Structure 1
């Protein structure tokens, strides 16, 4: 099992790429806390990153699973697909993120944390 890492300050794409190469190749799983402005990356499962954030004070309803395709450019490099996103009680019935405003918050947060160098 690979332990995830909490990202609360900038991380380079190169660092994420190195982490990804050790796991899945050209992509990495992550979980974003839209309330606290942090994310966890590098767990074998989204649930691993989710558990790490919960252990460090995040609230379940603020957490969303994503995949980052580090060789991609533009909006396609962030994929909204995770089992942890299925939350019928909160109105999210798919593995994606159904609410466009939430997707935009996630995009903005990821873009603020992941830098080119």
Structure 2
């Protein structure tokens, strides 16, 4: 992996689609923040790892890349899943690892699609 934002994101999508929470978390800085705006921010690589473990055990998730852009330290991913959910993620990549991530998607639709409790 080159460490360029687009390359990091392509690796992120591949690991996400394999459901590999440990390898996925290793793409983050120790003090990274993952803020899915429908949820509270998750701070720190180990908390991000735990978040991915919990999410992958709760639902089968697939990320289909629609558009991937790079601008300096930033990669922007527009995605969809096989069930029709769409979203967008912004990733700040520093020294080849994710320092900050913000994601936008419809949480209510996701919960309904996966028959998860609405909270």
Greater fraction of residues in strand: 2
Structure 2 length-normalised TM: 0.31
Structure 1 length-normalised TM: 0.32
